[in-house]
Chain A
């Protein structure tokens, strides 16, 4: 028996407010993310990509449609901690050490101290921060803090990672390094990823599929397959990489014009 799809979205719609002032943020979203698949959501500001991610995370409820995560209703999946999540801000707790931050989801799930410690150290090793376990978040650079946040997202060994512009606040060099790290981590953990980003190269480099969205109301306009043969530093200079970037860019241009922030 094959694993259930990581995410199944059917006819999702989301309206904020009601009456004449209501805003239709999303409409008619159908999307399936397979187990272990890496899918990026890309689109201009206000296209509802973050809203969609929040619906998958069950932080907000859709007005229409149904959401399944790992074959369960989204709420059940959240309560079971079936997914890990990372935001643009690392959001680390300042009064906890790096290790303490990674242990937080484990502690909330009732793991005992020894198991927590062992698992946190293993995860910190995975993101290359084993030497910083006892540091405070404020002693780390932005990129390192974000790596701690990723380790924390992976703490429960989720089959699904939700990421909302996790590298958005990092400089370009750090950002590219983190992308390669993420590819490696995903290969090691086998987790599916839904990744929200503004950056076309980032989406192309990371994803097997790029979902292109357009605003007002937010909807999916194109789904671009990215059949890259390899994803390493050479890929960034490869012909097929630029080809895919062009394809996504044209998909974005097809239905959108530059618009102001909502």
Chain B
């Protein structure tokens, strides 16, 4: 059985690699086939340009990682800048993720416990996600300008994490609510017959039953925290993270068009790492994956 699981994993990994190769092939094929100025129909461009400034060769993009950060300087390479920025942003995203998951889960608990809370809160939970993030980020930054909590001075990075949390809480709140409410009546009534308290019912029934719903919610939350972090960094102009690096390199695009792609690849890697960590959790909690009972 473990052998079969191993085989599936290998096959899945291989498919991922093939997909990547196909994608890269498409990129280079496009450059090869489409003229540099793109394809025009009348005066409107219907296929984008494929010149080296718009679509650098993949080899150029990967060469960028080895370049010195400042041309001719003795500083680190682009790769080390990207990695440093990644590490910085990932920690902010993780803080936002943790706060978001905690809030989302507590909201779900409150909504599950009391119908009236669900009816009162759920519309606002949904509404919260319709506010554009870029509108929100400067607001959070502005509000928290001189904030000081219990002697802890508010730092700009905390605003970034708050915005990441704002995005991350949503899928958790919705997923956990569905998961906590998922046990069928026969099981909730059984626990009622055992005179189980609300807390015991949560611990022995609702929580384990919610795990199949929580894992995908956590994956969404992890991805949302990463996106939120990057957008918030850009939006409030925080130094040190991958968001800032995207802006910096974009400004150098005229001189070195391939550079733009380095932090973008970095951001994608960051998202993959975040979701990958949740997948590990998924594996650890495998036994809570409910198969349908045969009755």
Contacts and interface: CB of A to CB of B under 8 A. Distances in A.
Interface in A53-81: 57, 59, 78-81
B195 A94 contact: no
B195 A79 contact: yes
A145 B287 contact: no
Contact of B196 (A89, A108, A145, A146): A108
Interface stretch (B20-28, B45-53, B182-190, B273-281): B182-190
Name which of A57, A94, A104 has the most chain B CB atoms within 10 A of its CB: A94
A108 B293 contact: no
A115 B292 CA distance: 31
Contacts of A88: 186
A85 B190 contact: yes
Given A95-B287, A108-B200, A108-B204, A90 B295 contact: yes
A108 B194 contact: yes
B195 A78 contact: yes
Contact of A104 (B186, B204, B291, B293): B204
B194 A95 contact: no
A95 B290 contact: yes
B288 to A, nearest CB: 5
Interface string B263-288: 00000000000000000000000011
B189 A87 contact: yes
Nearest to A78: B195
Nearest to B193: A85
Contacts of B193: 57, 59, 78, 81, 83, 85
A138 B293 contact: yes
Name which of B191, B195, B295 has the most chain A CB atoms within 10 A of its CB: B295
Contacts of B291: 94, 138
Contacts of A94: 288, 290-291, 293
Contacts of A146: 295
B1 to A, nearest CB: 13
B17 interface: no
Nearest to A106: B194
Given A104-B204, A145-B294, A145-B295, A91 B186 contact: yes
Query: Secondary structure of the A side of the interface?
Result: loop
Nearest to A87: B186
B192 interface: yes
Contact of B194 (A81, A87, A140): A81
Interface in A140-171: 140-142, 145-146, 169
A93 interface: yes
Contact of A138 (B190, B196, B294): B294
Name which of A59, A95, A137, A138 has the most chain B CB atoms within 10 A of its CB: A95
Interface string B12-37: 00000000000000000000000000
Given A57-B193, A142-B295, A89 B290 contact: no
Nearest to B288: A95
Contacts of A87: 186, 189-190
A162 to B, nearest CB: 8
Contact of A105 (B187, B189, B194, B288): B194
A92 B200 contact: no
Nearest to B290: A94
Interface in B146-198: 184, 186-187, 189-196
B208 interface: yes
A79 B204 CA distance: 18
A107 to B, nearest CB: 8
Contacts of A79: 195
Nearest to A162: B193
Contacts of B184: 89, 91
A42 to B, nearest CB: 21
B121 interface: no
Contacts of A169: 295
Nearest to B191: A108
B205 interface: yes
Given A78-B192, A85-B190, 18 more contacts: A78-B193, A78-B195, A80-B195, A83-B193, A87-B186, A89-B184, A89-B295, A91-B187, A91-B190, A93-B187, A104-B194, A104-B204, A107-B204, A108-B200, A138-B293, A141-B294, A145-B293, A145-B295
Interface of B: 184, 186-187, 189-196, 200, 204-205, 208, 287-288, 290-295
9 contacts: A81-B194, A83-B193, A85-B190, A91-B190, A95-B288, A105-B194, A108-B191, A137-B293, A141-B294
